[in-house]
Amino acid sequence: MSFRVWLSIVVAAAVVALAGFGVYAHHPSLPAMSAAERPSFGPEVIEKGRILAAAGYCATCHTAAGGKPYAGNYPMETGFGTIYASNITPDPETGLGNWSPAAFRRAMHDGVDREGAHLLPAFPFDHFTKMSDEDVDAIYAFLMAKVAPVREKTRDNALPFPLNQRFLQAGWKLLFVDFGRYRPDPGKSEQWNRGAYLVEGVTHCGACHTPRNLLGAEKKSEAFAGAAIDRWIAPALTAANPSAVPWSAAAFTRYLGTGAGIYHGIAAGPMGPVVHAGLRELPQSDLEAIGAYLGAGVGAPAADPAANPAVLASLKAGRPDPTYRKDLGERLYATACAACHYNGSHIVEGRPELAINSSTRLADPTNLIHVILDGVDAKNGMGGVVMPAFRHALSDADIAAVAAYLREKRANLAPWPDLAAQVARIRAEGAGH
């Protein structure tokens, strides 16, 4: 067979492949629906939608700093450029006011907007595709019935060519997205399946806690293995979590409902609003289901955490030393931290024992530095408990000394390198925020 014939075959195959991709990528525009044509929803459906919208952090991602709720333009910084969240208020010109329930379902399940354009994967449709039509319709009902319409145009995304070409997202979906509703595992309990449905769907925990590949897709083989997010570290939600006390179903449930855990730490940084403006709105039964699902993934032994050797050692090491503290980090800890973080024979809720705290045991000191610098305000952590910020009270060297003391002397773990430089970097990143 001649070269010309081979070339013709290759060109023909390429044309067929491109045509096939074009058919796959194309989605027609769906008819607009006015407010008068919109179906009515009962108060119980609207309330269900409010709870689900909270659990999905819709307001968190679709509200810019100082902006109107759900009006969009929250900047999402990715490795490819900045993506601005869209306006999802019922405004007919700049929001979803002319969207039908079918259009909203298509966006949530297939990642395609009413006009037929592919949505960028910063919107976690790869998780929302698992949600039932009933739950998606409930969120639609809440947005249309209870969210005030705001006329605010969404800013243009700062993405380079060809990533700004929407139709190419169809190829990304083809490679990385398993579309379809959640299918219960018959070998698991009803509670476990409910937790899986919530975690894998509306709460999309893996979007932050799963590392991503070079094309920005979650690495399915490393689900919940931990990842960097918004200049913080989302710890692993598996047995690989470095916590001295393994996470259990009960610990997950308590943490997600209160924002604090006796043996693990508090919800701060990006996790703060996830709990306090989101997950805690779920009924207790759903929180317990999420705890059961995540706890099963960790596989924590059924043991009393209070008897854990690391807990006992940390409590013993934290007792006041009658001798003068010669180590700078220990002296600073004693004067700035120990008054609140002192425990006696057992851990008191609201007084985290920092040697077993997740932030002290991560391989990266980012989370601990963040909390020392900026504290924990009333919107984060445990209700009624706040921690002061030391950004203007302690130098980079001081904070590095405290962190080194906790890591090396209290947790007995390998030292973090270049601590002072890391403190300086994180301090500079947070200046003015």
83 DSSP β-pair partners? 76
What was the pLDDT predicted at 13?
58
- Number of alpha carbons in the 13 Å side-chain half-sphere of residue 209: 18
Question: Can you tell me the distance from the alpha carbon of 89 to that of 408, in angstroms, rounded to the nearest whole number?
Answer: 50
What was the pLDDT predicted at 324?
47
What was the pLDDT predicted at 339?
87
- Number of alpha carbons in the 13 Å side-chain half-sphere of residue 430: 23
Tokens for 309?
């050797």
Return averaged pLDDT per consecutive 10 residues of the chain, 433 residues in all: 58 56 72 94 97 95 94 90 95 97 97 95 95 98 97 91 82 93 97 98 96 93 93 93 92 93 88 91 96 93 86 84 68 89 87 90 95 91 89 94 94 94 93 57
End-to-end CA distance of the chain: 67
What was the pLDDT predicted at 9?
56
Distance of alpha carbon 230 from its chain centroid, rounded? 10
What was the pLDDT predicted at 319?
78
CB neighbours of 306 closer than 8 A, spacing ≥ 6?
346, 347
Q: What is the pTM of this model?
A: 0.82
What was the pLDDT predicted at 21?
46
Strand positions, DSSP E, 373-423 = none
- Number of alpha carbons in the 13 Å side-chain half-sphere of residue 94: 16
Identify the CA nearest to 371 among candidates 233, 225, 207, 206.
233
Identify the CA nearest to 245 among candidates 345, 357, 122, 96.
357
Question: Can you tell me the distance from the alpha carbon of 401 to that of 428, in angstroms, rounded to the nearest whole number?
Answer: 18
Question: Can you tell me the distance from the alpha carbon of 262 to that of 256, in angstroms, rounded to the nearest whole number?
Answer: 12
